[in-house]
Structure 1
Amino acid sequence: MTGVATALLLLLVGIGIPIAAALFYLGLALGELYAFLPPLPSLGDIAWSTSTEFLFVSIPLFILMGEVLLRAGLAEEMYRALAPRLARVPGGLMHTNIASCALFAATSGSSVATAATIGTIAMPNMDRFGYSRPLFLGSLAAGGTLGILIPPSINMIIYGVLADVSVGDLYLAGIIPGLMMAGLFMVAVWAICLVRPAAGGHGTEVERAPGAWRGLVMVAGLFFLVVGSIYAGFATPTEAAALGVLGAFALAAARRRLNAGVLMEAFEGTMRTTCMVMLIVLAAYFLNFVLTNIGLTRTVVAWVQGLDVPPVVVLAAVVALYFLLGCFMDTLSLMIATTPVVVPIMVAVGYDPLWFGIVFIILIEAALITPPVGMNLFVVQAARGGGPFRDVVVGALPFLVIMVAMIVLLALVPGLALMLPQAFKGGGG
């Protein structure tokens, strides 16, 4: 049954059918093959119950917040504030790329938006200061992935709903691994540039931009408004997203960038992204409904438990599976289609679903820079405006290695993810 489902999905995606349609078709086909009652009449109920999920309201709100900040010019100011402070470190502006991605991720919640925004701002510096093209491009592609690990994160919201895990706990669990990942990326750039000084260019010539620090302070303030309101007990994640939108509007107005043109562009971008995300979510919920009713999830969980292998072997197999699937599926589809099957398996062998959520997000990050369909690779290549695609792929490889190392570190020290959620609960929060 599992083999049939996997083969059908790969076939549908392979022949070029859009992923949302492929998930719908797969659900219909499995329902017919395994004599389940016709699933199509249930589609209306599934669409309604999914669309009225209160937590999903936060998705368009976080997208809108990022859109407004982008068009208000805060991302550019943030980059210009960091550049002169990091330019003298071996690796120069590649550290700025990663740090800017980490900071913008804390407001956009989207890896693709982060890579596109910072990539567009940073790209003119690559040849101007003589950086290694693959490493510079790789720092942007990998830095962009931090958008789904550092809260607030749209992918964490989806995982929380599908795995029945608190989104607030996921946000807390992602802070330390997210900052560590950004730090490890920067250490990797520093080490490579120590070994190969020519790769680090001559970024010490970056000029200071007076007043640019205000953009940095504003972005940090907005992050603490959104995340802090959740942990202060003042707001739910959805309400915090609404506060973030109001804060973004206030910052844009303070910079005199809040006009009809900016609003229309922000609303249009938000609608496009939200429609894409929610269509895939609806399709995945329909497929999960079918999988549950034909018993596939129960069958897979029972089969894994019957193998009688150590939990770490199951974890290693899941990591290998996601690296393989990440080569062929886009990240959102991969996440939504597999979460309801994989999470019960990991829980059955003894792993905490909150801890696994962070490992899972890192695996989704890796899929963003895994060729041939890694979305961030194409986003950075588009921002570059031409040149060999191979440069972006090669440049991302060292950062993939770091992601694997981070997963190993989390397996050895689970407290890196669980420390803050446990401390918060222990403190009466």
Structure 2
Amino acid sequence: MIGLEGALIGFALLLFLLFVGLHIAVALFTVSVLGAWWYFGDAMLNPFGTFMWGTLNNFLLVAIPLFVFMGEILVRGGITERMYRALSDWLKPLPGGLLHTNIFASTIFAAISGSSVATAATIGTVAFPTFRAQNYSERWISGTIASGATLGILIPPSINLIIYGAITNTSIGALFTAGILPGLVLAAMFVAIVAVSATIKPEIAGPRGKLAPWHERRKRLVDLLPPLIIFIIIMGSIYGGWATPTEAAGVGVLAALLLVGFHHELNLRMLRDAMLATISTTAMTLLILVAAAYLNFILGVLGVPKLVSGAVADISASPLVVLLIIVCLYLLLGCFLDALAMMITTIPIIWPIIDHLGYSSVWFGIFLVMMCELALITPPVGMNLYIVQSVRGRGHVGTVIAGVIPFLACILVLVALISVFPGLVLN
């Protein structure tokens, strides 16, 4: 058994390695190996190969490359750009004009790609030329893209929820169901913030411009059907009991290929580029997952979860006070870790506390993903901030940071609501 001091030293070492820029998987593996060697010697290191195979030999994990591949096909096949143009036709009359398009497009694309980084890069590439031509505030352009993209890890199908479910043995279908309502509520809150701000300060949005003729707008509505069809196919097959999440992902890839082929964008070069991007993303994700699983194994053998839950049991504070402390911890970690690193490194430490407080693993999955959403847009290392800044291609990242502040507040409000009323997630 490890003492509390040893556990804190190990966690501090992990944070230090991540802070100095070591790759997430390398940092996790380093701390795991040092802990295993220090307390058990070489014997605990010998079965790592078998342990790695056992971790990856999971049919559920096949869903990760399939969902990534599906998103790459839709982006490179022009489906996303057509969807964005169709949305802009109908959202121009709202206060804030085209700023709402970023949020709506992010919500829809998040629901089919499962990736926040992919959403931020895709929507940003399409949006910035349009907005600059109409003199919108770059702060609000950047803020709506970076914040709207965070919906990619909450609205199903979410790669982060799949990873969480694989680590904690929680039903992926239950997690996907639980993520729909908070995701839609958060998108509505983002829209409300933009509408209210644009009403108070109309200068943040450019001129609303002339609307396209009614028949043209109605004709372009057909471009909203492909993402809707894919979402219905994926979620319908899962909830209808016709397919597992992995099988549904395979069906989603087939549907994406058919849709891109229908638009005459399917070719060998596009498929090659999509496959290479999928391989890169999947390899990085699974390497992190293996290293995290080994760390969780070592922590379990050392008795860290039992130690943490015992320490919490000795604290005479209400569940909401303990939860507030956990939120503050995640806010602090979000300033230094990206979403996936924060999620994987904290599950073995925080879950025993949450379990002791009486919350379900499904609720904690949504709570954790929402805290990871904050990490994606929290300076100084929020991943979406730099993705948007790189797509923006000019100015300082401080403009993007200033743009996300109102949306950070929205996420915190929703976290507070699901903490006080867990039924918002579980019902």
Give runs of aligned pairs for residues 94-173 of structure 1, distance below 5 A: 94-173=99-178
Partner secondary structure for residue 298 of structure 1: helix
Instruction: Trace 1:42-61 onto structure 2 (pairs within 5 A).
Output: 42-61=47-66
1:423 paired residue number: none
Q: Structure 2 CA distance, aligned partners of 1:246 and 1:152? A: 16
The alpha carbon displacement at 1:294 in A equals 1.2
How big is each residue's C-alpha offset from its partner over 1:207-264, in whole Å with a ceiling of 9 and x where there is no partner? Answer: 4666432221111011000011000010010110011011011111111111101110
Cα separation, 1, equivalents of 2:56 and 2:164: 16
Structure 2 Cα separation of the partners of residues 346 and 157 of structure 1: 19
Counterpart of 1:406 in structure 2 is: 414
Residue of structure 1 aligned with 2:277, choices 264, 269, 275: 269
For normalisation by structure 1, the TM-score amounts to: 0.95
- TM superposition shift of 1:344: 2.0
- Structure 1 residue 9 corresponds to structure 2 residue 17: no
SS of 1:289 mapped into structure 2: helix
8 Å Cα contact 1:77-1:214 kept in structure 2: no
What are the Cα deviations for residues 117-147 of structure 1, in whole angstroms up to 9, with x where unaligned? 0110001122221212111100000000000
Letter in 2 for 1:117: T
**CA–CA distance in 1 between the matches of 2:211 and 2:330?**
40
The partner residue of 1:354 within 357, 362, 368 is 362
Q: Which moved more, 1:138-147 or 1:84-93?
A: 84-93
Which 5+ residue runs of structure 2 have no aligned equivalent? Answer: 1-5
- Name the CA distance, whole Å, in 2 between partners of 1:384 and 1:15: 26
Residue 352 of structure 2 aligns with an amino acid whose one-letter code is P
Q: What TM-score, normalized by structure 2, do the two folds share?
A: 0.95
Aligned 8 A contact 2:156 2:180 in 1: yes
In the TM superposition, what whole-angstrom CA distance separates every residue of 1:153-182 from its partner, at most 9, and x where no partner exists?
000001111122111001000111100000
Deviation at 1:206, TM superposition (A): 5.7
Answer whether contact 1:380 1:392 (CA < 8 A) is retained: yes
Deviates more, 1:116-125 or 1:347-356: 347-356
Q: Paired residue for 1:396?
A: 404
Q: CA deviation at 1:275?
A: 0.6
The letter of the residue matching 1:164 is: N
Distance in structure 1 (CA, Å) of the matches to 2:157 and 2:211: 31
Aligned mate of 2:315, from 307, 313, 323: 307
Query: 1:83·1:206 contact (CA, 8 Å) conserved in 2?
Result: no
1:28 aligns with 2:33: yes
Greater Cα offset, 12-21 or 46-55: 12-21
Structure 2 counterpart of 1:309, one-letter code: A
Alpha-carbon displacement from aligned partner over 1:328-360 (angstroms, at most 9, x marks no partner): 112111111111221221011111221121111
The one-letter code sitting in structure 1 at the alignment partner of 2:89 is P
Report the Cα distance in structure 1 between the residues aligned to 2:42 and 2:208, rounded to whole angstroms. Answer: 64
What stretches of structure 1 of length at least 5 have no aligned partner? 420-429
Match for residue 300 of structure 2 among 287, 292, 296? 292
Q: Match of 1:34, SS?
A: helix
- Distance in 2 between the 1:198 and 1:137 partners? 16
Which of 353, 371, 380 is matched with 1:345 structurally? 353
Give me the whole-angstrom Cα distance separating, in 1, the residues matched to 2:22 and 2:44.
Answer: 21
For the 8 Å contact 2:308–2:352, the answer to whether it is kept is no
Deviation at 1:59, TM superposition (A): 0.2
CA distance in 2, matches of 1:35, 1:71: 50
CA distance in 2, matches of 1:85, 1:379: 27
**Distance (whole Å) between structure 2 residues aligned to residue 37 and residue 351 of structure 1:** 38
The CA distance in 1 between the partners of 2:315 and 2:308, in whole Å, is 11
Read off the aligned partner of 2:145 and give its amino acid letter: L
Match of 2:423 in 1: 415
Deviations, residues 275-320 of structure 1 (Å, cap 9, x unaligned): 1101111111111111111111211111111113111111111111
Given candidates 190, 199, 217, the residue that maps to 1:185 is: 190
Alignment match, 1:218: 226
How far apart in 2 are the matches of 1:46 and 1:330?
A: 26
Contact kept in structure 2, 1:81 and 1:213, CA below 8 Å: yes
1:204 Cα deviation from its structure 2 partner: 3.1
Q: 1:46 to 1:78 in 2, by over 3 A?
A: same
RMSD: 1.3
Q: Secondary structure at the match of 2:381?
A: coil
Query: Which residue number in structure 2 is paired with residue 66 of structure 1?
Result: 71
The answer to which of 275-284 and 405-414 deviates more is: 405-414
> Counterpart in 2 of 1:424?
none
Specify the SS of the correspondent of 1:258.
coil
Instruction: For 1:312, give the aligned amino acid.
Output: L
Aligned to 1:309, the other structure's residue is in SS state coil
Give how far 1:326 is off: 1.0
**2:372 counterpart of 1:364:** yes
> Counterpart of 1:296 in structure 2: which amino acid?
V
- Larger mean Cα displacement after TM superposition, 21-30 or 9-18: 9-18
The residue type paired with residue 195 of structure 2 is W
Matched, 1:230 2:235: no
